[in-house]
Structure 1
Amino acid sequence: MADLVSYGNANRDIDQAIIALKEGAQLLKYGRKGKPKFCPFRLSTDESTLIWISSSERSLKLASVTRIVPGQRTAVFQRYLRPEKDYLSFSLTYNNGKRSLDLICKDKVEAQVWIAGLKALISSGRGGRSKIDGWSDGGLYVDARKEYLFG
């Protein structure tokens, strides 16, 4: 995939990120029980649901996600903390913040693609309000209509 960090057309970058999410990737999933394991993740064709295979097919409706939390800040991550992978990690909190889907990507570009794509889908239809918690300088800049990734 082309480098997502481009200043020319933010909408095209988001479209490319969503296409990549539909194609899917192997992400390291942390769970409440057992050790982290690699699972195939993909976005549903209607862009409303994140689907993965663990012991069976599982899914999470993006409408139920309350926040995207970058890094390893949830209780689930704290059990098997990997500080060297913090910049590749993110959590989707749902059920009013009581539950989280905790994931680690293989590299920085994959992490940027997944976070940007999910952020765009989750914030759409909600006034462009950012649900990324804890992001500051050098992370993601949100401007009501446009989103830019800074490397």
Structure 2
Amino acid sequence: MLLNAKYASGGGIKLISKLKLHNLNNKFGCGISPMTDIEACPEFPHGLYGIFISRYAKIGKGCVIFQQVTIGSNSIKTSGSYGAPVIGDYCYIGSGAKIIGGIRIGNNVRIGANCIVCTDVPDNSTVVLEKARIIPHDYKLDNRFYGNI
């Protein structure tokens, strides 16, 4: 099934054509192919900003996808995860998450913000990152921006 080109915006749902989807991709800096196999339109709570979904990916019904998410194919045939992700039903994908390669994300899965997922995830699971490391320094850090060098 082709992408049922809908998107959430300003609390409403709009039905759009493939041509308008192309314009949305440009306007929101996203890349969602009309060829993507999406069973039912996902919710985009923060709009389409920075979302990329491979044309070969498959997404189940009832999914929630936040901003800056990548659901991308691995096109290197000799790698272990060649192909595109298959996302199950009722998955929650946090902002900045990257789901890459020919993997399966089960049903009712939660993927935390900024997670990089490149292996299968079973049904009813949560994926999170380890907590951030704090690296103390014994000197003052210079964080000024000096422009392009």
- TM-score under structure 1 normalisation? 0.26
- TM-score under structure 2 normalisation? 0.26
| Higher helix proportion | 1
| Higher strand proportion | 1
